[in-house]
Amino acid sequence: MIHEKNALLIADVQNDFCPGGRLAVRNGDKVIPIINSIVKKFYKVVAIQDWHPQDHVSFAMNHPGKKAYDVVDVNGVEQVLWPAHCVVGTKGADFHPELNTNNFHLIVRKGTNPKIDSYSAFMENDKTTITGLEGYLKGLGITQVYVCGLATDYCVFYSAMDAVNFGFNTYVVLDACRGIDVPENNIQKSIDTMKEKGIKIIESSEL
């Protein structure tokens, strides 16, 4: 039976984050069958998409003399530079074709502003620009948020941290996530930080 007050957030299961993509997460496509198997257990399912313009601030190619994975300061915000990815209108920005989108209730597109990166489904990296997701969920009376997808140490991590900060009981479905691990050991560090914050780390079998 679906719990009426829960929601599943599916982070960035897009072609560019899966094998063969511009910013592929190792084994990123392995989350897809797990996610497809659990979506019907949730009252609301929210899919998140990176949705970048070509001139996005997070792309290394837009910083002369810099390369992918360098870290720069952008208006006081620490910015990791990435290969160009999930550009609006490209195949890389599309959801992976094996991901079952039939049960999605809402799609949140983030990173649309060329001047601000956005890892979280709730708030951009300037920590002031909101996406409206908090209001959507609270307006439906949702109190429990479960997060899965790509990548464990970025969009999953930041979405889960914002969820708990906004007062939701927050869970991460770990076997339905894969991480980038940049810098090294970032996945474990992210998991430890989430646990310290009170986020519950679970497996899909526990749902």
Phi, psi of 37 (to 5 degrees): -80, -15
**Residue 45 predicted with pLDDT over 60:** yes
Q: Which residue has the higher pLDDT, 3 or 16?
A: 16
149, containing H or E segment: strand 144-150
172, β-bridge pairs: 147, 201
Q: Is 138 a catalytic residue?
A: no
Q: Which fold has domain 3-51+95-206?
A: Rossmann fold (3.40.50)
**Average pLDDT for 11-34:** 98
Q: Using 50, 70 and 90 to split pLDDT, how confident is the model at 81?
A: very high
Asked if 169 and 158 count as a contact pair (C-beta separation under 8 A), the reply is no
pLDDT tens readout for residues 156-173: 999 999 999 999 999 999
Q: One of 16, 50, 110, 148 is an active-site residue; which one?
A: 110
CB atoms near residue 23 (< 10 Å): 21
Q: Is 55 a catalytic residue?
A: no
d(CA 197, CA 170): 10
8, β-bridge pairs: 45, 146
Residue 8 neighbours by CB under 8 Å, 6+ apart: 38, 39, 41, 42, 44, 45, 46, 146, 147, 148
Q: Which sequence spans correspond to the domains of the chain?
A: 3-51+95-206
Question: Across all residues in the chain, what is the average pLDDT?
Answer: 96
| Angle at which helices 186-196 and 157-165 cross, to 10° | 10
Q: One of 12, 16, 50, 153 is an active-site residue; which one?
A: 12
**Average pLDDT for 63-87:** 94
Q: One of 18, 86, 155, 177 is an active-site residue; which one?
A: 155
What does the block give as tokens for 94? 């599309």
d(CA 13, CA 50): 9
pLDDT tens readout for residues 89-99: 999 999 999 99
Q: Is 177 a catalytic residue?
A: no
- For position 182, what pLDDT does the model report? 86
**Residue 61 predicted with pLDDT over 90:** yes
